Structure 1
Amino acid sequence: MDDMVLYLELQKSPKEVLLIIGSKHGIKIMQDILIGVCLEKLTVLSLSDHLFKAVEKEKENIENDSQYYIPRQFILLRKNEFDDHKFGQEDLAILYEGVKNQEFVEKLSKLSAKYLIGMHDRNYINTFDIWEKFRENTKKIYIISYVGGGKKDVLNWEKNEENPIELSIIFPMYNIAKYLPQCIETVTTWQTDFVEFLFVDDGSPDNCADIVKKYAQRDSRIKLLSKKNGGCASARQYGLERAKGRYIGFVDPDDFIQPDMYRKLLAKALEGTYEIAYCGYREYYENTGLSAEVPDALSYPYNEGTSDPAKIDELIGYQRVAIWRGIYSKDLIQRNKIHFYTELKRFDDLPFKIEVTSKARSVIAVPEYLYYYRMSRPGQDVSADDERLYVHFPIFEYLDKFMKNASNRNQLDYLHLVKVHTHRYALEKIKREFSKEYCRKAKRDIKGDFGFIEGMYVINKLGSKQDLLLFILLYWGWDGAIRKLLHRKEKALKENKAIKKLKLLNNKGI
């Protein structure tokens, strides 16, 4: 039986069905409906004359076959008869297949059907546009979409009568008033009523709250939440607990986005009922106004969407943290009791990213760079180069507890890789007077996971030569060798900068 008919059969049987046939496959759907669903009225609209004749002939066969439930009204329509036909609105289900005209499908929204069930090629019809047209007056929408003969996605949506919010975006605010207007203006450009913007004032000493209030007077979707200062994790968690959306997004309010970023993410998420949708991002350098794309996992299979557990697990190790360039199903978060660790004062996005990725059943990437991450701002976590980097160790303690019951060995391996990546990042940044203590803590963290041979195997399989070298040095406690390597690298970087400066001066003739 056709998937669309199976879905129809699972609902409380509607009294009336409008079936729109755009190909011969529609005749099979008509047969399946009359075998599996008991109706009072079935109207079959054929989009071409030759299909109408084929349907007419099949109707004669059906009426003489006892296996079919024949409705009291069984009506066949040509396309030019559609506008004059009257449909009931109380319990109408619309099914369509083979339609290549988006305007025609959108026109059907005027019928205020209870159910919309369809199948189309995305080369001709945009699934999200159809959802937007029908969402206000339709209780359930089920659309199978594909590109050519490729992979099929399924939008499976049910209206929440009490809560119309589809997407909540959370902004933790502390001392970012200077950047806030640009952030607000780029995220609120998308004019739709099913999004809410939650700005969490984390006891900020500047005038962030006043700026938000000013914008909220003009845009009812903007909401200000206020709390005592507790750090970014506590602000994100505060917003998360109050978010109404089916999907949740996060923005650092000193950053900004392409105005269509969240529309594109939500469209992809809904189109295939994906639990995570994410895009690429750019590093924006405030001192020059220039930006650069950051390499990330945006190609196949992620750009087409995947529910392959092995491919999703790979994102634990290889995808950048950057939780603010994605949206996450609230059901995914609540089902797995995922939250922000409010004790953490920085880098709280790392455990959140690993936990949601390890529990996600499906993900999809938008292969565009739509988020702008501001660099070189005073007070950023990424500027930390002292004992603040020790925060990595309590983070990994949390993650070890979260993952300890995991039966998936791949996830444990990728967590191990994340640890090595993170410690390498920290040791390349940290000041020399803090590096010895960091090495000591990192050694204990690494040794707690694997034996030496097992650890070497994992890092050699998943990581780089640099990762493998760092693992060996940390495991055996060769702190001095690590610090010497880092010192050489630091010296080489300084020499390279000096050489570049001299070349620049020579080119200018100075």
Structure 2
Amino acid sequence: MIRFSNFHSHIRQIPLSVPAHIRDEDVGRLEHSWFGPRFCSQKRNGVGLFVGGRSGLECLLHLHYAPEASVYVVEPDFFLRASLTGLFGTDPRVSIYESLDAFLAAAKDVETLDFVRIDDAYYPTVWTLIKHFKIKALTTEIPFSCSIYDISEQLRPHVSFLYLAHASGRGRGFDKPQPKIAVSVIVPAYGVAAQLPQCLDSLVEQTLERLEIIVVDDGSPDACGEIADSYAQKFPERVVVVHKANGGCASARNAGMAVARGQFIGFVDGDDWVTPDMYSDLYKMAVENAADVAQGGYCLAYEGGLIANSNDIYAGRDGLFKRSGIVDNPLSLLTGQPTIWRRIYAKELLTENKIIFPEHIKRFDDLPFQFEALSLARRIVTTAKDYYYYRQGRLGQDILAKDEKLFVHFDIFDYLKPRVTSRMRNDVIEQLMMVEVNTHIWALGRLDSNLVEDYKARAMRSLHDGYKMLAPKARRKIMEKVNTEIEKASRH
């Protein structure tokens, strides 16, 4: 709740002629930031406009915090206008008009409005105002039938600060310029020349206009580089190609992130493909809900054309989340299978927290990236709709490994544990321990039999020695599962 200096003395100035429900609503709106965190000009001598003066309380506060401001009020209601006239009297700082046309006629010399607040009943006037003035800060309620995303896309190019209150009770502020690129999609390409055209076709056909596709040719021995270049020539406004020496998938994704210009970043493996509406839907969800991460569902695509549901508990037709909306408990996502490609991530989230793919880890580098990004995201929004087609059974995929390659898990958690335990809460660290448990159980269920005992011994040491910062009770509860499940998995 916002606290204002001398707030109650301002409330007592409201004329008794103002209906009590309007006065009380204005008090509640201000205390609970209905129109966002800004309620007046950021300049002491700025120009403010209130379309719908209501009780006059907002104007009083505006003049209190910006005492040298000029305030214009448009109030079509005769009785409220009369109350406002009585409230402000002959104050030279305040001018009151019965209509927007009257205000426009009187304000011909005004070029910039430092602050504008538009009441819900007069929302359509916003389009007239942006034609006539440069507006620094605009706060307005939009009708229930309008989406925050659609209106923000239209208004952000014209306003430095925008806050949209929605009739549903939700609100969303925008304090940065509209990005030229909404989403950057990074496609690492190595040895997937046969599948890459299907992948890139699905991306150039995306319905999101402000999207860039960054194809990283990771020194591929086949024609991936030439295919990527051909798409860049055909779609120069949409496709960017990075050619580099082979360094592995992690280095390819990092190279893509280094040149990405988007507000959000997504990843698509070069042998997979997506639906045309994937990134427009995820971006809209992220904007509507002020989320750092937006997530969709996916399908499993088998050789021969068979498409199967992923049976994912976090998004999918039969999943835990059967709606679009904010995830109430983001920690519940941390123990899920690494699926970094089903999401978009705010670039700011990644850069501020130095989240990258560890290049010394040559496979399964998506596990540490996913854990860090999801655990540090302030808000995550998800939908059950399937967008991503995850190809199964291609020769050379890491998920098919059954040999010493799976010992890379110990490098992964050696990298991840100090990064997590040094800066995150114990409940996140407990989830990390569960992720490690699940990873080792999965590996033991796949490993060649001659490697099982060595892997099991290392797994038990890693789990026993790596989480001593946790409370004994929490560790004991997890280790009870470890002893049972690891023994069961190692007997496969």
Shorter-chain-normalised TM-score: which range?
0.7 to 0.9
Q: Residues of 2 paired with 1:468 and 1:122: CA distance?
A: 54
Q: Residues of 2 paired with 1:342 and 1:419: CA distance?
A: 20
Aligned counterpart, 2:186: 170
Aligned counterpart, 2:93: 70
Taking a change above 3 Å as real, the CA distance of residues 110 and 65 of structure 1, as seen in their structure-2 partners, is closer
SS at match of 1:155: strand
Aligned counterpart, 1:329: 346
SS at match of 1:244: coil
| CA displacement at 1:183 relative to structure 2 | 2.0
Aligned counterpart, 2:376: 359
Picking from 116, 123, 135, the partner of 1:114 is: 135
Aligned counterpart, 1:211: 227
- AA partner of residue 306 (structure 2): G
| CA displacement at 1:25 relative to structure 2 | 6.4
Taking a change above 3 Å as real, the CA distance of residues 302 and 25 of structure 1, as seen in their structure-2 partners, is farther
The answer to whether structure 1 residue 40 and structure 2 residue 63 are counterparts is: no
Aligned counterpart, 1:494: none
- Tell me how many residue pairs correspond in the alignment: 453
1:243-262 map, 5 Å: 243-262=260-279
Taking a change above 3 Å as real, the CA distance of residues 110 and 378 of structure 1, as seen in their structure-2 partners, is farther
RMSD: 3.4
1:92-148 CA distance string (max 9 Å, x none): 6443342597x775676545643353344673211111121123333222223363x
SS at match of 1:139: strand
1:371-401 CA distance string (max 9 Å, x none): 2212122222222222111111100111111
The answer to whether structure 1 residue 154 and structure 2 residue 172 are counterparts is: yes
Q: Residues of 2 paired with 1:13 and 1:265: CA distance?
A: 40
Taking a change above 3 Å as real, the CA distance of residues 193 and 370 of structure 1, as seen in their structure-2 partners, is closer
Contact 2:47–2:71 under 8 Å retained in 1: yes
Contact 2:296–2:386 under 8 Å retained in 1: yes
Q: Residues of 1 paired with 2:424 and 2:83: CA distance?
A: 53
Picking from 142, 154, 162, the partner of 2:163 is: 142
- AA partner of residue 292 (structure 2): E
Taking a change above 3 Å as real, the CA distance of residues 104 and 459 of structure 1, as seen in their structure-2 partners, is farther
Taking a change above 3 Å as real, the CA distance of residues 190 and 32 of structure 1, as seen in their structure-2 partners, is farther
Q: Residues of 1 paired with 2:476 and 2:199: CA distance?
A: 39
The answer to whether structure 1 residue 316 and structure 2 residue 334 are counterparts is: yes
Contact 1:106–1:133 under 8 Å retained in 2: no
| CA displacement at 1:230 relative to structure 2 | 0.5
Picking from 398, 403, 407, the partner of 1:381 is: 398
Taking a change above 3 Å as real, the CA distance of residues 146 and 459 of structure 1, as seen in their structure-2 partners, is farther
Contact 2:314–2:333 under 8 Å retained in 1: yes
Which segment is superposed worse, 399-408 or 6-15? 6-15
| CA displacement at 1:184 relative to structure 2 | 2.0
Which segment is superposed worse, 34-43 or 371-380? 34-43
Q: Residues of 2 paired with 1:337 and 1:39: CA distance?
A: 43
SS at match of 2:98: strand
SS at match of 1:373: strand
1:349-379 CA distance string (max 9 Å, x none): 1001111222222222233222221212222
Q: Residues of 1 paired with 2:209 and 2:111: CA distance?
A: 25
1:405-462 CA distance string (max 9 Å, x none): 24511111111110111111112222223323322221222222358x978855857x
Aligned counterpart, 2:85: 60
Picking from 266, 283, 302, the partner of 1:266 is: 283
SS at match of 1:368: strand
Taking a change above 3 Å as real, the CA distance of residues 372 and 301 of structure 1, as seen in their structure-2 partners, is closer
1:223-276 CA distance string (max 9 Å, x none): 111110011000011111222222221111221222222122222222333222
| CA displacement at 1:27 relative to structure 2 | 5.7
Q: Residues of 2 paired with 1:213 and 1:99: CA distance?
A: 53
Q: Residues of 2 paired with 1:434 and 1:324: CA distance?
A: 31
- AA partner of residue 441 (structure 2): R
Aligned counterpart, 1:295: 312
Taking a change above 3 Å as real, the CA distance of residues 202 and 106 of structure 1, as seen in their structure-2 partners, is farther
Picking from 354, 361, 364, the partner of 1:344 is: 361
Taking a change above 3 Å as real, the CA distance of residues 416 and 459 of structure 1, as seen in their structure-2 partners, is farther
Q: Residues of 2 paired with 1:256 and 1:211: CA distance?
A: 16
Which segment is superposed worse, 369-378 or 114-123? 114-123
Which segment is superposed worse, 248-257 or 343-352? 248-257
SS at match of 2:99: strand
Picking from 201, 218, 221, the partner of 1:202 is: 218
Taking a change above 3 Å as real, the CA distance of residues 356 and 473 of structure 1, as seen in their structure-2 partners, is closer
SS at match of 2:360: coil
Aligned counterpart, 2:408: 391
Picking from 173, 185, 200, the partner of 2:201 is: 185
- AA partner of residue 233 (structure 2): Q
Taking a change above 3 Å as real, the CA distance of residues 43 and 218 of structure 1, as seen in their structure-2 partners, is farther
Which segment is superposed worse, 228-237 or 290-299? 290-299
Aligned counterpart, 2:417: 400
SS at match of 2:227: helix
Taking a change above 3 Å as real, the CA distance of residues 107 and 289 of structure 1, as seen in their structure-2 partners, is farther
Which segment is superposed worse, 35-44 or 212-221? 35-44
Contact 1:116–1:141 under 8 Å retained in 2: yes
Q: Residues of 2 paired with 1:17 and 1:54: CA distance?
A: 22
